[in-house]
Amino acid sequence: MRASRSGRRGPGLFRSRRSGREEGARAALVAFVSSIVFLAVVGWVVLTSEAWPAVQRQFFSWDHLVASWPAVLGGFWLDVRMFLVAEVLILVIALVVAMIRSLRGPAFFPLRALAVVYIDFIRGVPIILLILLLGFGVPALQLPGVPNSPLFWGLAALVISYSAYTAEVYRAGIESVHESQRMSARSLGLTQMQTIRYVLVPQAIRNVVPALLNGLISLQKDVALVFILGIREGVREAQIYTARTFNYTSYVAATILFLLVSIPVARFTDWYTERDRRRKQAVST
């Protein structure tokens, strides 16, 4: 295994004398140096341009960053909490919808049709429209016994919308499980629901973890859309600061906060997907 791998890397004498670790260290050094050079060139071009002082004043002012930070951070904390609550709900609701959609046979037609209508309908409506509709619309009705906070309905809109997409992710996973697994389970006397729950879904989830993680990254940003309801989350706080000072550094502050969360998740997704791919290759050989 080892021999064949280093053999594939190249026939040169020079290479075969180096160990894998040395090779790795050298590659890292090359990557590091070339990145520094690249950043230096770009930085030099930007910083020496005529427009830079104005750009810096408007977007990258240290004073404004410090001044806006506490409010933006506080708002962002609400984003994080909304994200966590919504994500849990989405993962559960979407799974239920996908399971319903995966039921077969004429007896389940009404349930299945309901799931299809929900998914098609929601996927056809811009998420921002859904947020406006529910977030402003429902509280305006002042229905007794129904929550009338825009925050509640804004989150509900996010959950409803994302669940439709996520249900399709799960369904693709369920359908990727070999048909014989369904048959084996059914032949043992398991009902359809038991088959889906104990046999198909556990295998499906493994297949769709990368896709679910992608959805997670996307949601982590989209929670900010509820700012349109006047909810004082991160983006809204940044907007308020900008409106007061005519300086955009607070938006940069919000940008930094969102990136601090989403980049690690993106890296993790890549790492996980790659590991998964390697494992599958290892099994198939």
Partner 1 sequence: MTVPKLELRDVRKAFDGTPVLEGIDLVVRPHDVICLIGASGSGKSTLLKCVNLLVPIDEGQILLDGEDITAPGVNPNRVRERMGIVFQRFNLFPHMTVLDNITLAPRKVHGATRDEAEARARELLGRFGLEDKADEYPDRLSGGQQQRVAIIRSLATDPELMLLDEVTSALDPELIAEVLDVIRDLKSAGMTMLIATHEMGFARDVADRVCFLDGGVILEQGPPAEIFARPREERTRRFLQRIVEAGRL
Residues 85-104: x/- map of binding to partner 1 (CB under 8 A)?
--------------------
What's the sign of the alpha-carbon dihedral 266, 267, 273, 276?
A: negative
Question: According to CB under 8 A, which residues from 206 to 235 bind partner 1?
Answer: 206
**CA dist., res. 172 & res. 204, Å (int):** 8
Q: Which of 199, 229, 238, 253 binds partner 1 (CB under 8 A)?
A: 199
- The region of 5-13, 33-41, 174-182, 248-256 touching partner 1 under the rule CB under 8 A is 174-182
Tell me which residue has tokens 């509709």.
Answer: 133
Under rule CB under 8 A, residue 278 binds partner 1: no
Let me know the angle formed at the C-alpha of 271 by 265 and 273, rounded to the nearest 5 degrees: 100
Who's near 232: CB < 8 A, 6+ residues apart? 75, 78, 240
Cβ pair 158, 86 in contact under 8 A: yes
Residue from 109, 198, 271, 272 touching partner 1 (CB under 8 A): that is 198
Among 96, 188, 256, 263, binds partner 1 (CB under 8 A): 188
3-state SS, residue 48: coil
Beta carbon nearer to partner 1, 140 or 283 = 283
Distance CA 3, CA 255 (A): 47
Single residue of 72, 95, 134, 185 touching partner 1 by CB under 8 A: 185
194 binds partner 1 (CB under 8 A): yes
Question: Which residue is listed with tokens 């004429």?
Answer: 106
User: Residues in the site for partner 1, rule: CB under 8 A?
Assistant: 178, 180-181, 183-191, 194, 198-199, 202-203, 206, 283
